[in-house]
Amino acid sequence: MAIPQRPRAVVTGGAGGLGRALCLALAERGAKILIADRDLTGAEETAHRVAANGGTAFAINCDVSKPAEVEGLTALADKHLGGCDLLVNNAGVAVSGSVGTIPLSDWEWIMGINLWGVIYGCHAFVPRFKAQGAGHILNVASAAGLLAMPEMAPYNVTKAGVVALSETLSGELRALGIGVTVLCPTFFRTNIMNSSRSATLTAGLDKMVDQRMAGSKVQAADVARIALEGCDDNELYVVPMQDGKWAWRLKRFSPERYYALMPKVMQRLSKRAAKH
Ligand SMILES: NC(=O)c1ccc[n+]([C@@H]2O[C@H](COP(=O)([O-])OP(=O)(O)OC[C@H]3O[C@@H](n4cnc5c(N)ncnc54)[C@H](O)[C@@H]3O)[C@@H](O)[C@H]2O)c1
């Protein structure tokens, strides 16, 4: 279903980056938003900006890796928004490095936020949406969930899980009038690398990621706008950037060739980045 006029939205990870951009894009639609983030100060700053942009927002301290805190968002949405039309599972972190060198504690940390956080959100809100016969879920995955690039295994695994969850939900909910969209961007500039954890990487890889984030023609505000338009059109997959679209096409066309080529491309890009 399309997002209604003046939607009531719950947005996780809205204290900065893409989550803040989504809140501001929703504010332009006159939305009432519950901003759930473990960074309450940042969430409050977003709430002020939402108010200045024509919306209304309430900042809530919430750690999405804690099921009771996510479950509690349903009651808070009832209290502050009078219900919920749109759930945005956006909160996320990054872990990089090669398998075997990444501490298991980092695997567990990212699984708790990027995958379990989204599962908790869907588990809490799907029954509500079914009861009201309407609603839309926007799950923020990543192109990493489609493309599985080297030295990003924990991130890839969580995002592939979010893609699979969204595909499954789409099959379960479409006939009930509930929409599901999974967002799969490639790199754009946010704070995600500041909170990321990484084991030893191929020389230049972190620089390459940094350069691609800064150099992307599509930045957070564009990604947010494209994502909401995808929800309006009830699209299941939203892949906003051209490089992501091309790589995903190649992978679907010839997965073997894609996985033979991908490490070489990554190595070449990392080497080039290391020189600058
Ligand atoms: N930036 C990119 O290049 C990129 C690319 C593809 C996908 N994404 C995805 O976009 C989403 C938003 O990330 P971003 O790039 O804006 O990064 P960001 O670090 O700027 O924002 C992430 C937000 O999530 C919050 N958060 C982290 N852990 C949390 C927890 N346990 N509970 C509640 N909130 C928590 C942070 O406080 C922050 O406000 C993530 O799911 C990320 O994987 C980002």
What pLDDT, on a 0 to 100 scale, did the predictor assign at position 1?
A: 62
103 within domain boundaries: yes
Q: What letter represents residue 201's amino acid? A: L
Q: In the prediction, which pLDDT does 266 show?
A: 87
Residue among 120, 155, 237, 259 flagged as catalytic: 155
In this structure, is residue 178 part of a structural domain?
Answer: yes
| Residues of the chain below pLDDT 50 | none
Q: Does ligand 1 lie within 6 Å of residue 18's CB atom?
A: yes
154 Cβ below 6 A of ligand 1: no
How many domains, the chain?
1
| Residue 212 falls inside a structural domain | yes
Asked whether residue 46 is assigned to any structural domain, the reply reads yes
In a domain, 2, yes or no: no
The response to whether residue 16 sits with its C-beta less than 6 Å from ligand 1 reads yes
Structural domain for 115, as ranges: 8-275
Active site residue 155: yes
**DSSP H helical segments within the chain, as ranges?**
17-27, 40-52, 67-81, 104-110, 117-132, 144-147, 153-173, 205-215, 220-232, 242-253, 255-275
Give the residue whose CA is nearest to atom 4 of ligand 1: 187
Question: Residue 1: inside a domain, yes or no?
Answer: no
In a domain, 3, yes or no: no
Chain centroid to CA 140: how far?
Answer: 2
Beta bridge partners of 182: 139, 237
| CATH code for position 91 | 3.40.50.720
Within-domain flag for 241: yes
> Whose alpha carbon is nearest atom 7 of ligand 1?
142
Cβ of 230 closer than 6 Å to ligand 1, yes or no, is no
What pTM value is reported for the model? 0.97
